Chain A
């Protein structure tokens, strides 16, 4: 089973600032099958990024993903008020066991 470690646990930033979130895998993720989700309180997760770097339908271009192998990054270029939330990475490798990272909370400084 691939273990995903997200850092930092909490990111305190101001609107307009750049956010950089990290996701590290315990072994290489096949075919960059790595996704990022955003979750707000009381809501289901929303898919932001798939294939490590492709934005899902309707996701603003201030969200970008990068990385391969074991190291992945989600970048929010300029934080909008609605971007303060918890972000999870997930690997959906060809192996049946899907796993999520522990999450990074982006909070208002």
Chain B
């Protein structure tokens, strides 16, 4: 059974870069139809799609964060990563990684999420 697990610092200082990794187990990140994504949820609020990556490295970013986001994939480690630069308190959220089995299907498998707090 495919599982996803987010990891990274739970506390990031304002103006610094938030870095998270999603480790995929029980399956290959290199499947030719899978898309991998990051979604976040500020405390008490709704879901926001951050961006997605295909195993080949093609990336798609949401318009509101596009200028600050980089998503990459490391097939040798079966991982993909998120970097969000110049963070502020409004970037405090639970960050989820998730999988889509193909472009015409939604996120069907999610990590448990990790809370990242932006504070000095």
Q: Which residues of A contact B (CB under 8 A)?
A: 1, 31, 33, 35, 37, 43-47, 50, 56, 88, 90, 92, 94, 96-103
Contacts and interface: CB of A to CB of B under 8 A. Distances in A.
Given A33-B104, A88-B46, A97-B63, 4 more contacts: A88-B47, A90-B107, A92-B100, A101-B46
Contact of B110 (A44, A92, A97, A99): A44
B103 interface: yes
Give the 5 A-B CB pairs with smallest separation, nearest first. A35-B106, A96-B60, A44-B110, A98-B49, A100-B47
Nearest to B96: A44
Given A102-B46, A103-B46, A97 B62 contact: yes
21 contacts: A33-B104, A33-B106, A35-B106, A44-B98, A44-B110, A44-B111, A45-B107, A45-B110, A47-B106, A47-B108, A88-B46, A90-B107, A92-B105, A92-B106, A94-B103, A94-B104, A96-B52, A97-B63, A99-B49, A102-B46, A103-B46
Contacts, number: 60
A50 B110 CA distance: 15
Contacts of A33: 104, 106
